[in-house]
Amino acid sequence: MSGSTFGRWFAVTNFGESHGPAIGCVIDGCPPGMALSEADIQPDLDRRKPGTSRHVTQRQEGDRVEILSGVYEGQTTGTPIALLIRNEDQRSKDYGNLLDTFRPGHADYSYWRKYGLRDPRGGGRSSARLTAPMVAAGAVAKKWLQQQYGTTVRGCMVQLGEIEIPIEDWAQTAHNPFFAATQRGLPELEAYMDALRKSGDSVGAKLRVEAQGVPPGWGAPLFDKLDAQIAYAMMGINAVKGVEIGDGFGVVAQRGSLHGDELHPDGFASNHAGGVLGGISSGQDLVVSIAIKPTSSIRLEKASINRAGEPTTVVTHGRHDPCVGIRATPIAEAMLALVLMDAALEQRAQGADVCLPISPVPASRP
C-alpha cells in the first residue's frame, strides 16, 4: 500500500490524477442506516471547487459527485461508498512546456526520483485537485458526527500573507471568498490579492480549524494520539508546512503554571491544550492551526534543471491559485472530520462503555 488510504476504521481510499478521466474515493467502514445522497456532499465540494472567485484558479470543474455504491434507497448499507468525480476541464496543453523540466517547489523532481516517470499533466497525482474526494468523504463524516454526537467542524483563514485576520464572527466565513470569520478588512484582502495576482507572484496563508462538541475519550495513548492523527491529516494536505494544536509554538515560552488548563465543576477554565490531553479528547474544543506555503506555480522566472541535469528556467502560465490557502479551509475541515470519525469508531469498539456514558463530568467552559 502506497499510502492512499486514510483512516483505519472509516478508511478512505483516494484515487485519480489532475488530468485523468476521473478522481474519487472509496469509503470503507461507514456505519449503516444513515440517510445519504449526493446532496449531502455537493455543498462542501462547491465550497472547495475552482473558479468561484477571481482570487482562485479559473479552471472550470463542476465537481459533480456520483455515489456508485454503499447506499440503498437513500440509506448507507454499511458497505463501501464509492464516490466518483469526472474531470472536465483538462487543458493539458497548459503544461506542455514543462514536461521535461522540474518546477521549483513542485513534486516533479521527487516523483521522478521515486517512480522513474511521472504524469506531468497538472501535477498528476500531486495536484491539490486530489483533495476534492477527501472533501466529499469529509462531508459524509461530518453528517454522521453531527447526527450521532452533535460534533461539528468549522474552519477559517486567520492570516493571508502578512495580514492577520481576526476571528470575530464565524458565520461570515460563508460570505466571502477567503473564509474570513469577519466582515471587516475584506476590501484590504481583495486589494492584496489583486496586487499579488498582478505581480505574478503567490503568497502563503494560515488557517484555523476547530471541532466543537467532541466527546471526551476519543483518541489513543501512544501513536494514534488524536493530535498525532490530526497532524498527519493536516500535513498531508498539499502545501501545508506546519501544524499546531492549541497554543502550538506559543507553548515554547510558556510556564506550566499558565499552560495546564484548570478544571472546575462547570468545566475547564481555559483551553491552552486545544482539546487534547495525553492524545485523548478532553471535551474541550479542538483547536488546530496550519501553515500553507505560497503556490509554487508563479509567473516569475525561476532557475531549474531538466531531466538531463542541464540548467533551464521555468515560468508557469497555467491557471493557478495565487494563494492555495484560500480554497484550503473546506479541505482542512474535511480532514479534521475524517480524523474524528475514525476516533469515534475506535472508541465505540474499544472504549470503556459503548452504550452508557460515564457519570457526568464537565466538558468545557467558554
Q: Which residues are annotated as a binding site for NADP(+)?
A: 48, 54
Binding-site entries for FMN: 125-127, 238-239, 278, 293-297, 319
Distance CA 103, CA 314 (A): 6
Nearer Cβ to a second copy (68/171): 68
Among 54, 175, 184, 302, binds a second copy (CB under 8 A): 302
Kindly state the smallest distance separating residue 350's Cβ from a second copy, in Å.
Answer: 6
Residue 288: partners with Cβ closer than 8 Å, 6 or more residues away: 208, 209, 210, 230, 234, 243, 244, 245, 274, 332, 336
Smallest distance, a second copy to C-beta of residue 55, A: 15
Residues in contact with a second copy, shown as a per-residue x/- string from 98 to 137 under the rule CB under 8 A: ----xxxxxxxxxxxxxxxxxx-x-xxxx---x-------
From candidates 1, 39, 174, 366, binder to a second copy by CB under 8 A? 1
| C-alpha distances in Å from residue 42, one per residue of 36, 52, 137 | 11, 14, 11
Shortest Å distance, C-beta 349 to a second copy: 4
Closest CA to 345 of 3, 12, 1, 39: 12
Considering the complex, what minimum distance in angstroms separates the CB of residue 178 from a second copy? 14
Find, among 338, 359, 365, the residue nearest to 29 by Cα. Answer: 338
Span from 8-16, 90-98, 172-180, 184-192 in contact with a second copy (CB under 8 A): 8-16
Closest CA to 326 of 166, 129, 159: 159
CB of 300 closer than 8 Å to CB of 105: no
**Pattern 152-191, binding to a second copy, x per CB under 8 A?**
-------x-xx-----------------------------
* Span near a second copy by CB under 8 A; candidates 47-55, 88-96, 180-188, 221-229: 221-229
Q: Which residue, chain included where needed, has cell 472550470? A: 60
Query: CB–CB of 2/115 below 8 Å?
Result: no
Minimum distance from CB of 336 to a second copy (Å)?
14
Nearest CB to a second copy, comparing residues 47 and 106: 106
Residue 243 CB: number of other CB atoms within 10 A? 18
End-to-end CA distance of the chain: 43
C-alpha cell at 103: 518546477
| Closest to a second copy by CB, 81 or 139 | 81
Q: Which of 231, 286, 334, 336 binds a second copy (CB under 8 A)?
A: 231
Is 213 an interacting residue with respect to a second copy (CB under 8 A)?
A: no
Mapped onto helix, strand or coil, the DSSP state of residue 207 is strand
**Number of residues this chain uses to bind a second copy (CB under 8 A):** 163
Q: Is 74 in the site for a second copy (CB under 8 A)?
A: no
Residues 312-351 that bind a second copy (CB under 8 A): 345-351
Stretch that binds a second copy, among 40-48, 57-65, 175-183, 263-271 (CB under 8 A): 263-271
Is there binding between residue 39 and a second copy (CB under 8 A)? no
CA atoms within 13 A on the CB side of 242: 13
Query: Using the rule CB under 8 A, is 271 a contact of a second copy?
Result: no
Q: Amino acid identity, residue 37?
A: S
Minimum Å gap between C-beta 335 and a second copy is 9
Q: Are strands 65-67 and 81-86 parallel, antiparallel or unpaired?
A: antiparallel
